A = this chain, B = another copy of it.
Amino acid sequence: MDLSKTLTVYGRKPVLEALRDPTLDPHRLHLADKNKPGGIISEIETAAKNRSIPIAHHDRLALSRISKNGKQDQGVALDLFCPNFSTLDIFLTDFERNPERKFKALLLDGITNPQNVGMIIRSSCAAGIDAIFYPKKSVATLGPLVIKASVGTAFRAPIVFCEEAFSCATALKARGVQIAVMDSHATLSLFEHQKEASTVFVLGGETEGASETIKNAANLSLRIPMKNGVESLNVAVTAALIGFLSQ
């Protein structure tokens, strides 16, 4: 099992929905020994059997290690195969093999609101963004709230997991990738920017914006021209404008 391409969902209703969704690729169902049989547990077992998905039984503690959320897993977890998931290491290896390939990517930096993260994933996936660099630290966890807000697109999004945002940005920059931060005081507009090299657009949290260390390391600072004295846009809206309207 390729862990980097696996997302484990949990909770009885989310797991049942995932098992019944023909666009998803579940590869193992995990159940707690102590689940009371019948009801929705039977429905989950039947749905798994109908798709020939292996079922593993665990004690509660082992299950909570799998779901990583013992409080909310309700004794049920499901590993989903997400073919477009990757890690920074794999991404960098692929890129070094084929450095001519131009890409447009996002790097999430301190976005703690799961609603915004989910909407960013949904818009990026629709726009065909090549990679969403997703730090394990400082960003809302890729859990039920993010998945719900992504309207299920998280499972097929090109998410590239990394440890944290700054080291991800510097690793990419060292390989010739442009690091662009969005800044309302920048002189160059996002819509005028001519993409010559592969670019990673850094998206910061709603209040703080991108972190200072990344701003200092960036090659490019871009603004979205705004009228009526509006000072900022929702970060998911910014992601969509980058995805659909920038070159």
B-binding residues in A (CB < 8 A): 23, 119, 122-123, 125-128, 151, 153, 156-157, 191, 224, 226-230, 232-234, 236-237, 240-241, 244-245
Max count, chain B CB within 10 A of own CB: residue among A23, A127, A229, A237: A237
The residue from B128, B233, B240, B244 contacting A126, defined by CB atoms under 8 A apart: B233
Max count, chain B CB within 10 A of own CB: residue among A126, A127, A245: A126
A-B contact pairs, 13 of them (CB 8 A): A119-B237, A122-B237, A123-B233, A125-B228, A125-B230, A126-B227, A127-B227, A128-B227, A156-B229, A236-B237, A240-B240, A240-B241, A244-B245
- How far is the CB of A242 from the nearest CB of chain B, in Å? 11
Check A234–B125 contact: CB distance below 8 A: no
The residue from B191, B224, B232, B241 contacting A151, defined by CB atoms under 8 A apart: B232
The residue from B122, B123, B191, B234 contacting A123, defined by CB atoms under 8 A apart: B234
Check B228–A128 contact: CB distance below 8 A: yes
Copy number of this protein in the oligomer? 2
A157 contacts which chain B residues (CB < 8 A)? 228
A232 contacts which chain B residues (CB < 8 A)? 151
A153 contacts which chain B residues (CB < 8 A)? 228, 230
Contact A237 to B123, CB < 8 A, known contacts A153-B230, A232-B151, A244-B245: yes
Task: Kindly state the separation between the CA atoms of A127 and B241 in the bound complex, as whole angstroms.
Answer: 11
- How far is the CB of A53 from the nearest CB of chain B, in Å? 22
Max count, chain B CB within 10 A of own CB: residue among A23, A244, A245: A244
Task: Kindly state the separation between the CA atoms of A202 and B123 in the bound complex, as whole angstroms.
Answer: 20
Q: A122-B233, A156-B228 are in contact. List 10 more A-B contacts (CB 8 A).
A: A119-B234, A119-B237, A122-B230, A123-B233, A126-B226, A128-B227, A128-B228, A151-B232, A153-B230, A233-B240
Task: Kindly state the separation between the CA atoms of A157 and B126 in the bound complex, as whole angstroms.
Answer: 28
Name the residue on B nearest A121 (C-beta): B230
Task: Kindly state the separation between the CA atoms of A241 and B126 in the bound complex, as whole angstroms.
Answer: 13
Task: Kindly state the separation between the CA atoms of A87 and B188 in the bound complex, as whole angstroms.
Answer: 37
A234 contacts which chain B residues (CB < 8 A)? 119, 122-123, 236
